[in-house]
């Protein structure tokens, strides 16, 4: 039972790290688009 719980926890941690990485990429893309828009505007 403990092994299964540990596996679930690991999955949750990996999912969180993936979501954080995606969020970081989205922020970078948004900043790039925002800067481009201001520069051209």
User: Per-residue pLDDT tens for 1-41?
Assistant: 667 888 889 999 999 999 999 999 999 998 888 877 665 54
pLDDT at residue 1, rounded to an integer: 61
Tokens of 16: 């969180």
Q: How far apart are CA 38 and CA 40, in angstroms?
A: 6
pLDDT at residue 5, rounded to an integer: 83
Name the DSSP letter for residue 1.
-
pLDDT at residue 32, rounded to an integer: 87
2-38 as b/e: b if 16+ CB within 10 A: eeeeeeeeeeeeeeeeeeeeeeeeeeeeeeeeeeeee
Q: Is this model's pTM higher than 0.75 or not?
A: no
């Amino acid at each position: 039972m403990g092994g299964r719980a540990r596996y679930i926890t690991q999955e949750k941690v990996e999912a969180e790290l993936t979501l954080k990485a995606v969020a970081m990429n989205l922020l970078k893309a948004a900043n790039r688009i925002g800067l481009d828009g201001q520069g051209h505007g």
